[in-house]
Amino acid sequence: MTTVFDFTVSDIHGQPKSLADYRGKVLLVVNVASQCGFTPQYAGLQSLYDRYHQGGFEILGFPCNQFGHQEPGSNEQIEQFCETRFSVNFPLFSKLDVNGSGADPLYKYLKHSAPGILGSERIKWNFTKFLVSKDGSRVTRFAPTTKPEDLASEIEAMLNA
């Protein structure tokens, strides 16, 4: 059975990163953008990371420019923005597409594993979140409007499972 741990992506510096390195951890995979109305969620994501990281929790941020061209910068600019503006220290990855024919295979898998409303596999906007269990068997989707802090009980349940 395929899980998120079977994929390799490019980190923010363009280096391949096997998601198998995160096996045994609860993951929150988020498509992010620097010029979005939801961009302030970076602060809430970092707060979750600070709170649960030592217990086996990782956030994986994937910049995406498919929604209103709200992530126009280079990977270097995105990394600098996240570090400077929100003190982000969770892993960031290279900009990718989440929808369409060029969608990254990881996102194709996530969307199929946890479809949205009415079974839609499209990502509707930036800051769509996928919570993945330690063994990769369970993937839960959350809308961009779901605030990071509202995921705390779900994260705790997966960490304690």
Active site residue ranges: 36
Q: Counting Cβ atoms within 10 Å, is residue 110 exposed (0-12), middle (13-18) or buried (19+)? A: buried
Q: Between the CA of residue 38 and those of 20, 136, 142, what are the distances in Å? A: 29, 27, 14
Q: d(Cα 91, Cα 46) in Å, to the nearest integer?
A: 11
Q: Which amino acid is at 147?
A: K
